[in-house]
Copies of this chain bind each other. A is one copy, B any other.
Amino acid sequence: MAASMLKVAVTGISKCARQVAPVLRTYSTSKVLCQDVPETVWKLGRLNHVAIAVPDLEKATALYRDILGAQVSATVPLPEHGVYTVFVELGNTKLELLHPLGEKSPIAGFLQKNKSGGMHHICIEVDDINAAIVDLKARKIRTLSEEPRIGAHGKPVMFLHPKDCDGVLVELEQA
């Protein structure tokens, strides 16, 4: 029982801390903080996909479809994003195979540095992307653009700077 209560207490403090980190310094106790701050305004959700940049889309698709036996989509050209995509369905989430489309593809540079291909980014859903962006900017997490833009799934997305996310390019997508 004691352990269970401790867990609740710790969770409570953690939740408050998350809400008000930028203001924390002006208060002296966590109890005051919990009473004075608003409830969470946005929530992190599921892993939408892991994006993999590949130099040979046919070969990569064949690996997942024919050798590993996964269900894969048809190739989808997304000229406005400079990529061809193939989605690999894994049941709980997806892999998104990316291949450059056009001369200004945003993944061309990545494939220059990673000739065999590699993991390019992870995409995590959020319930309110605008609230998330305001909050994250206040916490000094840099974003790759000022405003969200419409992503490959037709929903608003925002990329967080890898330097602020342990070297990982993190995409947030409106759920």
Contacts and interface: CB of A to CB of B under 8 A. Distances in A.
Interface stretch (A41-49, A76-84, A146-154): A41-49
A153 to B, nearest CB: 16
Interface in A6-22: 14-15, 17-18, 21
B136 A166 contact: no
B46 A91 contact: yes
Contacts of A40: 69
Copies of this chain present:
2
Chain A, interface size category, equals: 35 or more
Interface of A: 14-15, 17-18, 21, 40, 42-47, 50, 52, 54-56, 59-60, 63, 65-70, 90-93, 95, 97, 114-119, 122, 124, 136, 139, 141, 162-168
